[in-house]
Amino acid sequence: MTVAEDTRAGNSDVAAHPPASQASLPGLGFAGAMATAFSQTLLLLARNRLLWLLLLGELITGVIAFGLAGFDRNRLAGHDLFCLLAWWFQSWVVLPWATMYLVVQAIHGDVEDRTVQYLFLRPVSRGALLLGKWLAASVLAATLVGAGVAVLFVGVAAVPDIWGDGIEFASLGTYLWLTLCGALAYGAFGCWFSATFRRPLVWAAVFVVSQMIAALLPVAAGVRALTVSDPLRRLLIAHVEPDSRLERILWPGDRALRDEVIGNPVLALAILTTVLLALALYRYRRAEYDARDRE
């Protein structure tokens, strides 16, 4: 018999155990675990019905773009029409929402329904799991939004006589590049929100609205550096060479951009993404899943 005061005795007739390294499968390294988390997250997210609805919506916007190009052929050049539609619809609205939704689903969805504990039990780095999930959701979002941008381009390009100097495929390339950079950065925000807050989608909504307000501030306002849309807008304007009219539409406040103001938007996004991922990793690695609510 053993009572509370005499608990250290344990069970002495235990067989000596071999070292853990000999007894068990060792587990994947960082890159292997990240690649596994990436592929598994992609497969899980691909089963989300919302993705197929989004894809249907993207096709419809292509049809709308074609209609607008045919109807409005005397007012806007093909290049400007594509830039406007791609920016205001895809880059400004669909990209942040779709990316952060997918990342939150991939990371916080697991925490919410407690399936994440099955992953945390494995002999792999939690950081690898988080980065794999972030990358998978961001790449999926970039692919979906990129497909939408391409559909828009096809819709506008289907009316060739509104492209004065011929169809500009470079604009499509710029938007696809912008979409990938934006998805990774928005994904990093979603990653941080998911690892840190109980209601990450609410924080994502607050962030998107806040960056819309920040876009109305003067160009020099420091708070713009904390948004994703500002570097994306700089990247766009630096590459598509808009006329002054398009520049005014894309740049709220009607402020002319000079090279020194544009800076290096890709570097700015890379720094922002790295900082956010570091914060997310710190939180995710320390996360505990207490059992009080069930007991």
Partner 1 sequence: MNAPLLEYRDVSKWYGSITALMGVSFAVGTEVLGLVGKNGAGKSSLLRLAAGLLSPSQGEVAVLGQPATSRAARASLGFCPDTERLYEPLTGRAFVAWMLRYHGLSRRVARQRAGEVLDELGLGADMDRAIREYSKGMRQRVRLAQALAHRPRVVLLDEPMTGLDPIARRDLGGIIAELPGRGVGVVVSSHVLHELESVAGRVVMVHQGRLLAEGRVSELRDCLPGQPRRFRIVGGQRRELAAATLALAPVLGVELLGEEELRVTVEDVAEFTLRFTELAAGWQPGVTVLEPLDEDLDYVFGRLIG
Q: Given the rule CB under 8 A, which residues bind partner 1?
A: 1-4, 7-17, 19-21, 23-28, 32-33, 36, 40, 44, 47, 113-115, 117-125, 288-292, 294-295
Residue 27 phi, psi dihedral angles, 5° rounding:
95, 165
Q: Looking at beta carbons only, is 20 or 220 nearer to partner 1?
A: 20
Please report how close the Cβ of residue 2 comes to partner 1 at its closest, in angstroms.
4
CB of 197 to partner 1, least distance (A): 18
Q: How far is the CB of 210 from partner 1 (least distance, A)?
A: 31
Could you tell me the maximum CA-CA distance found in the chain, to the nearest angstrom?
A: 94
Question: For 88, which DSSP code?
Answer: I
Least Å from the CB of residue 131 to partner 1 = 14
Is the CB of residue 182 less than 8 Å from the CB of residue 90? no
Of 33 and 208, which CB lies nearer to partner 1 in the complex structure? 33
- Tell me how far, at minimum, the Cβ of 86 lies from partner 1, in Å: 33
C-alpha atoms less than 13 angstroms from C-alpha of 118 in its C-beta half-sphere: 6
Q: Name the residue nearer to partner 1 (CB basis): 117 or 264.
A: 117
Query: Judged by CB, which is closer to partner 1: 124, or 137?
Result: 124
Q: Is the CA virtual torsion 239, 241, 247, 250 positive or negative?
A: negative
Tell me how crowded residue 30 is: count the other CB atoms within 10 A of its CB: 13
What is the Cα–Cα distance from 70 to 244, expressed in whole angstroms? Answer: 24
- CA atoms of 183 and 196, how far apart (whole Å): 20
Q: Which is nearer to partner 1, 24 or 274 (CB)?
A: 24
Of 27 and 252, CB closest to partner 1 = 27
Contact predicate 41/102, CB 8 Å: no
What is the smallest separation between the CB atom of 204 and partner 1, expressed in angstroms?
23
CB of 137 to partner 1, least distance (A): 16
List of residues 6+ apart from 17 with CB closer than 8 A: 23
How many whole angstroms separate alpha carbon 291 and alpha carbon 289?
7
Q: How far apart are CA 283 and CA 193, in angstroms?
A: 10
- State how far the Cα of 76 lies from the Cα of 84, in Å rounded to an integer: 10
| Assigned token pair, 157 | 């390009």
Which CB atom, from 258 or from 286, has the smaller least distance to partner 1? 286
